[in-house]
Homo-oligomer: A and B are copies of this chain.
Amino acid sequence: MSKIQGFTIVEDGTVTTPKGFRAGGLHCGLKKTERHDLGAIVCDIPAVAAGVYTLNAFQAAPLKVTKASIGLEGKLQAMVVNSGNANACTGAQGELDAYEMRARAALAFGLPEHYVGVTSTGVIGELLPMAKLRSGIDRLPDRVTVNGGDDFCQAILTTDLTKKTICVNLTIDGVQVNIAGAAKGSGMIHPNMATMLGFITTDAAIEQEQLQQVLSQVTDSTFNMITVDGDTSTNDMVVVMASGMAGNSLLQEQHADWVAFTQAFQYVAEVLSKAIARDGEGATKLLEVSVVGAATEAAARAIVKTVIGSSLVKSAAFGADANWGRIIAAIGRSGQEVNTETVDIRLGAFVVLEQSRPITFDEVLALDYLQGESIQYHINLNMGEHQATGWGCDLTYEYVRINAAYRT
């Protein structure tokens, strides 16, 4: 365990580390290869639950079903996920299928239907192969164990190259509280096969309203601050389940450990977000863009996302090119008010622009830095006190190959 701020990282921790959670995955035939394509996280008791959902107008059917489940009591006891098929743009039949997926899982796990959430990721516009899914769901309960966190992580992957999981531990009211997360996504959103999904479990005791508040706030500065290609999926979703089995007194803003809890929660979301960005389709490196000195937080975020989403900035990163002209051009087209005379830009430790004027820097050392696996762009607008940070990846030949060849 390593200590960070008020919490520690649990080595090999997964979504089943928080008390009360089991998980698992299996192959039911939605993916052509023998990889897991169906998984579930199950809690021993109804867990307090909250969710955030894609803003894409063509929101997929399972998201509506999960929203309906959480809407009833603010609780979930199982989240069931399939990969290989997004159940998006599938009309009324797709919605019936998502509800049947929920009903079947409720039956299999012996739960009321509204304690079950469902989600799907994969190809858009094809109906779920329900026969395969039904038999898979029926076999799920046997596979869901306290050791199944890793299998669950595998079940949610599509074009991802790496599993994305994290668990932290902190002390609240003298008891140990765990917060764990699993995510998938090889881009902020990919309409066909790389939806961003996040699953966070915790044994903290917390009321639904507070849990939703923490999730929404943290999502704004983590999951919503990553982009691989700017394409927002129809299936994005992050769900958190809190079992309350850690035994702390109910968390709310007046609680002495509220800040420690939200910081730990933020850390879990940030680690997953960076893991998604680093594993962006075809990526060779993680880009981190920070904007400080902005007039508003909204401006800071908009500028971060414009820079991190620029194909030209991303291509330059791939080429390890200290091409700050592309950064300044992206800032200028962000639609935010900027003072064109006061911008500073640093690439790692290399100051390249000060008060909007080019600064001579050591191109050889900068090249060395930019060839690394993780590079940071720092932008100071010198206009105010607000800031934001976001993550993305470089644009590579491999990204084009993956997405030119993908469906066919």
> Which of A5-13, A100-108, A241-249, A332-340 forms part of the interface with chain B?
A332-340
Q: Give the contacts of A329-381 with B (CB-CB under 8 A).
A: 329-333, 337-338, 340, 353, 356-358, 367
Cβ B191 vs Cβ A329 within 8 A: yes
Cβ B328 vs Cβ A191 within 8 A: yes
13 interchain pairs, CB-CB under 8 A? A56-B329, A57-B331, A192-B325, A192-B326, A231-B330, A311-B399, A315-B400, A315-B403, A315-B406, A316-B404, A319-B403, A395-B403, A397-B401
A408 on interface, CB distance cutoff 8 Å: yes
Q: Give the contacts of A61-110 with B (CB-CB under 8 A).
A: 86, 88-89, 91
Identify A358's interface contact among B59, B125, B316, CB under 8 A.
Answer: B125
A202 on interface, CB distance cutoff 8 Å: no
Q: Bin chain A's interface residue count.
A: 35 or more
A297 on interface, CB distance cutoff 8 Å: no
Contact string, A295-326, partner B, CB cutoff 8 A, digits 1/0? 00000000000000011100110111111111
Q: In the complex, A333→B325 CA distance in Å? A: 28
**Given the complex, which residues of B lie within 8 Å of A318, measured CB to CB?**
400, 404
A232 on interface, CB distance cutoff 8 Å: yes
Q: In the complex, A140→B328 CA distance in Å? A: 33
CB-CB nearest in chain B for A192: B325
**Given the complex, which residues of B lie within 8 Å of A329, measured CB to CB?**
56, 58, 124, 189, 191, 231-234
Cβ A56 vs Cβ B405 within 8 A: no
Cβ B406 vs Cβ A319 within 8 A: yes
Cβ A332 vs Cβ B407 within 8 A: no
**Given the complex, which residues of B lie within 8 Å of A56, measured CB to CB?**
329, 332-333
**Given the complex, which residues of B lie within 8 Å of A325, measured CB to CB?**
86, 88-89, 123-125, 191-192, 407
A229 on interface, CB distance cutoff 8 Å: yes
Q: Give the contacts of A175-201 with B (CB-CB under 8 A).
A: 189-192
Cβ A192 vs Cβ B312 within 8 A: yes
Cβ A229 vs Cβ B333 within 8 A: no
Q: A89-B356, A358-B126 are in contact. Are A332 and B57 (CB under 8 A)?
A: yes
CB-CB nearest in chain B for A123: B325
A250 on interface, CB distance cutoff 8 Å: no
Q: Which 6 pairs from chain A and chain B are nearest by CB?
A: A319-B404, A124-B325, A191-B329, A315-B403, A232-B333, A58-B332
Q: In the complex, A55→B336 CA distance in Å? A: 11
A389 on interface, CB distance cutoff 8 Å: no
Cβ A311 vs Cβ B404 within 8 A: no
Q: With A58-B338, A125-B358 given, can you name 5 additional A-B contacts, CB distance below 8 Å?
A: A124-B325, A124-B328, A311-B395, A319-B405, A320-B408
Q: In the complex, A322→B408 CA distance in Å? A: 8
**Given the complex, which residues of B lie within 8 Å of A58, measured CB to CB?**
328-329, 331-332, 338, 340
Identify A231's interface contact among B126, B234, B310, B401, CB under 8 A.
Answer: B310
Cβ A231 vs Cβ B407 within 8 A: no
Q: A57-B331, A311-B229, A311-B231 are in contact. Are A321 and B408 (CB under 8 A)?
A: yes
Identify A400's interface contact among B233, B400, B406, CB under 8 A.
Answer: B400
A230 on interface, CB distance cutoff 8 Å: yes
Cβ B57 vs Cβ A338 within 8 A: yes
Cβ B312 vs Cβ A231 within 8 A: yes
